[in-house]
Amino acid sequence: MTVASARRPHGLTAGDVTRLGSDSDRRAPQRWVFTATWFVVVTLLTGCAPAGTPQLEPSISDIPRISSPDQVEFPINSYLPSDEQNVAMMLEGLHLVNECRAAEGDTGTSQIVLTRQGVDPSAATQPGASVADLTRYVAAWRRDAVTFSGMWQFFDPDNAADYGYQRPPNELPNLMLTGSGSAVMACMDRVRSISPGGQVVGPFMVGDLPDGGSQWQANDSRYVAVEKQWADCMAAAGFDYATPKDAIGQNYQASTATDKARATAVAVADVQCKIQTNLVGVAVAVQSAYDQIYIDSHRDQLAALQTQIADYIAGGVTVPASAPPTTVSTAPSLPAGSVHS
C-alpha cells in the first residue's frame, strides 16, 4: 500500500480524544524537552540513559564540519522508515485500530489529529490529519530530533536569537489519536503488539529499532573533550556551564522577562560555541562509529525489520484477539573491544 492509497482519517467526534505521549528519537536522557511538546503513543515510552564509557572506544573517521542541523546525518538513519513509509505506517495503524474497534462492537471511529501547542484537544474541531499534514509533521519531527538531540541537547542557529531554547510557534504540533474507553485502549495495545517498533500512529524512531537501537554515547572521551572546549568558549562569553545539558536545563523554562533575555543570550552563545568548537561535528563522528557497531551486530534483525515494515504497510497483518504479554529483550554482545559498559 502506498501513501496515496492509504486509508485516510475520518471526521472528529468532539470530546472523544485520547492524548498521546512520546520519547525522543533515541532513548536519550533529556525526555523533559519532549514530553510537553509532542504526542504520538498512548503512554509515555520509558527512556534509557545512554550507555557508559566502553572499555575500548572505536576509532572514528573524518570529522565533518557542521554549522547547520541539515548537515547532520548518521549511519543508522538508513535503517529508519522514510517519511512516506512513516505516514503509511501511521495510517495503517489507524485503520487497524478502527477495524479492531468495529470487531469489538464499538461504534466509534478514531482518527489522527494535529493541534497547536496549548490547544485543549477535547475542544478540537478540526478534521482529521491528511496525508499532506502527516508528511509535514514527520518532516518537522525529524528536524526537531536533530535540534534537540540527546547528544548535544540543542542546535538551532536560525532561531536561537529569536526564541532562545524554545521552539518557534507551531513548529511542531501535537499529534494525537482520538477515542477513549477500554475498547480503544485494548485495541491500541493489540495493534502496538504487531506494529513495527511497537508504535500505533507515531513516527518510527531510532529507539524503536531492535534492542532499542544505537544509543547516544555522550561519555565517549572524544566527545567529553570537545564538551570541555565548548565550556571554555561559553566561559569566555560570560556563561558558566560544564555541559550543553546544563545550559538548556537551567534556561529552558525561563519565565520572567529578565530570565528570558538571559536564556536567549545563553542559547545564542551555546550555538555559536558549538559551531566554533565543531561540537556537533565531533558528536556525529563519534556517534556514527557506535551506530556502525550496532548495525554490524544487528544485520539480521534489521533486515527482518525491513520485511516487517513492508508487510505492515501492505496490510499483511491481522490484529490479534488480545495483546501478548510484554517481553524484555536482551541485546546481543557487541564486537570485542566495543562493549558498552
**Number of Cβ within a 10 Å radius of residue 62:** 7
β-pair partners for 178: 17
| Whether the Cβ atoms of residue 209 and residue 300 lie closer than 8 Å to each other | no
CA distance 281 to 262: 27
Q: What value does the mean pLDDT of the chain take?
A: 80
Cα-trace Rg, the chain: 21
249 vs 32, 148, 284, CA distance in Å? Answer: 9, 12, 22
CA distance 241 to 76: 30
Q: How confident is the model at residue 325 (pLDDT cuts 50, 70, 90)?
A: low
* pLDDT score of 115: 84
CA distance 318 to 327: 20
With 0-12 / 13-18 / 19 or more C-beta atoms within 10 angstroms meaning exposed / middle / buried, residue 143 is middle
Q: What is the mean pLDDT of residues 196-219?
A: 93
Angle at 142 between CA 118 and CA 138, to 5 degrees: 70
- The residue ranking higher by pLDDT, 17 or 166, is 166
What percent of the chain has pLDDT above 70? 75
With 0-12 / 13-18 / 19 or more C-beta atoms within 10 angstroms meaning exposed / middle / buried, residue 322 is exposed
Cell, residue 70: 541539515
pLDDT in tens, 137-187: 999 999 999 999 999 999 999 999 999 999 998 888 889 899 988 999 999
For the whole model, what pTM was predicted?
0.77
The answer to which of 47-56, 254-263, 277-286, 287-296 has the lowest mean pLDDT is 47-56
3-class SS of residue 115:
strand
Amino acid at the residue 279: L
- Count, residues in the chain: 341
